[in-house]
Structure 1
Amino acid sequence: MKLDILVLAVHPDDAELGCSGTILKHIALGKKVGIVDFTRGELGTRGTAQTRDEESRAATEILGLHARENLEFRDGFFKNDEQHQLEIIKMVRKYQPEIVLTNALYDRHPDHGRACELANDALFLSGLRKIETHVDGASQEAWRPRLVLQYIQDMYIKPDVIIDISKEMNEKLNAIRAFKTQFNSADNSEPQTYISTPAFLEAVIARAREFGKSIGAEYGEGFTSKKLLGVDNLFNLL
């Protein structure tokens, strides 16, 4: 299946936190959107890889994704090397997205920035036809997306573009809350973490309000770009 947008996320719940409003908006516009998670989040203090799998399936249903896969890289210990790059290249060539959204350029969690570097290197290499990959015995064609953006995560980074997600904000929060072990402490006896407190979700909402205010909307999601962005008509900026 060819996707319009492919989201690359190192942990299940990264996409929900960083860009699920944008995912919901574009699916409503008729675009095909999928997520490839790199790890199962098995090093998380709360929950297990198995519960994270279940939560990921619940969030997938809320978002209405057209595809979701998990590469099962080692949480915390994956590397930006040939082996890992090739697995991502296979996914990019499989889905042939026009747009890719990846983890933040840098962040509080070291996996986020490392995953961004891994994704960006793999996305470039995916366009080189002399790198041969095969899935189910079939040779894949080279493919490189037309646009790559990084969603903003915990650490504040000034965005290069902001998407209005005012209509999608409630469902975004529902998708985040699908990860019950991570963001709901009411019925959980496991240790409290940085992201399990009510204050964390309040901060997510506040960030969305801040970005929305910048573009005259109620809520927004911010993205960065490693290259300059351009349009062929000033009215496309209105």
Structure 2
Amino acid sequence: MQKLDVLAIAAHPDDTELCCSGTLAVLARQGRNVGVADLTKGEMGTRGTPEGRLQEASDAAGILGLTMRENLGLPDTRLDNTPENREAIIRLVRTWRPDVCLINSPDDRHPDHRNASRLTIDALFYSGLKKISTTGDDGKEQEPWRPHHILHYMQDKTFEPSIVFDITETMHLKEKAILAFKSQFNVAEHDPEPQTYISGNRFFEMIKGRARHYGHMIGAEFGEPFLYYNGPLPFSNFDLLLNSRPKR
């Protein structure tokens, strides 16, 4: 099984498409192993079905060039910080051993996003503890693993980003991946299912406008913002700064 460079963990299928899919697509184009783990099937959502959203997630994964996509099948609207839920994430992380994790926003309109953020942070910490024992799908005891870096992606509520990633080259893939969730986004007004806060064209245009706004902040056409977890982003040398120039 391939080790992942970057793993995005999300409360629901479509969270990553909305918030960090441009970044994942850039990394995939660069030859990085990138994956997504959806904690729930979104079964409590107003629109669509769990089976339909699983297929939409698979379609989006193909568009983005992901190495893997899994669904942990945790209960939607019940992402409590329990030992059982943490263990599911610990087993995932120890299986794929990502260097970087992208996770839900710490403060958001949707309770699942807030809860998933706290649940995931705690699971990522415990994943590095040797005396917490877990077994992989092969029946063997897993080795401890803790990602080197954790980044929160932006959801409904904004924050002052630590990093803005240039997604100009993959913005078209981000849009295509979002629209793969045809039960959820940019839905026609005469659709038989109920309209929601996120289902109309206005929300889709907001996502594009946000990407353009954060791209402008770094002198690019489109960008995705992230908040670095647990303090300032560490640097041990100035190579990144010495070998690049600002775009604005």
Q: TM-score scaled to structure 1, two decimals? A: 0.97
What amino acid sits opposite 1:120 in the alignment? I
2:223 to 220, 225, 229: 220
The residue that corresponds to 1:46 in the other structure is 47
Matches within 5 A, 1:77-92: 77-92=78-93
Q: Distance in 2 between matches of 1:216 and 1:78?
A: 38
1:60 matches 2:71? no
Q: Which runs of 5+ in 2 are unaligned?
A: none
Equivalent pair of 1:181/1:188 in contact (CA under 8 Å): no
Equivalent pair of 1:164/1:212 in contact (CA under 8 Å): yes
Q: TM-score scaled to structure 2, two decimals? A: 0.93
1:236 matches 2:237? no
Matches within 5 A, 1:68-217: 68-136=69-137, 137-186=139-188, 188-217=191-220
Q: Distance in 2 between matches of 1:150 and 1:204?
A: 17
Matches within 5 A, 1:9-24: 9-24=10-25
Q: Distance in 2 between matches of 1:183 and 1:91?
A: 29
What amino acid sits opposite 2:174 in the alignment? K
Q: Distance in 2 between matches of 1:8 and 1:148?
A: 11
Q: Deviation of residue 17 (structure 1)?
A: 0.6
Q: Distance in 2 between matches of 1:2 and 1:163?
A: 23
CA RMSD of aligned residues (A): 1.1
Q: Is the partner of 1:129 in helix, strand or coil?
A: coil
Q: Is the partner of 1:69 in helix, strand or coil?
A: strand
Q: Deviation of residue 185 (structure 1)?
A: 1.6
State the Cα deviation string for residues 123-180 of structure 1 (Å, max 9, x = none): 0000001111001311100000111101001111111110000111011000000000
Identity, % of aligned pairs?
A: 47
Give the number of equivalent residue pairs.
238
Q: Deviation of residue 235 (structure 1)?
A: 4.5
Q: Is the partner of 2:77 in helix, strand or coil?
A: coil
Equivalent pair of 1:184/1:196 in contact (CA under 8 Å): yes
Q: Distance in 2 between matches of 1:30 and 1:223?
A: 21
Equivalent pair of 2:79/2:119 in contact (CA under 8 Å): no
Q: Distance in 1 between matches of 2:238 and 2:206?
A: 33
Structure 1 segments of 4+ aligned residues over 6 angstroms from their partners: none
Q: Deviation of residue 205 (structure 1)?
A: 0.7
What amino acid sits opposite 2:180 in the alignment? A
Q: Distance in 2 between matches of 1:181 and 1:5?
A: 27
What amino acid sits opposite 2:217 in the alignment? S
Q: Distance in 2 between matches of 1:233 and 1:139?
A: 37
What amino acid sits opposite 1:178 in the alignment? A
Q: Distance in 2 between matches of 1:56 and 1:174?
A: 12
State the Cα deviation string for residues 187-219 of structure 1 (Å, max 9, x = none): 721111110110101110111111111111010
Q: Distance in 2 between matches of 1:180 and 1:50?
A: 13
Equivalent pair of 1:107/1:113 in contact (CA under 8 Å): yes
Equivalent pair of 2:186/2:204 in contact (CA under 8 Å): no
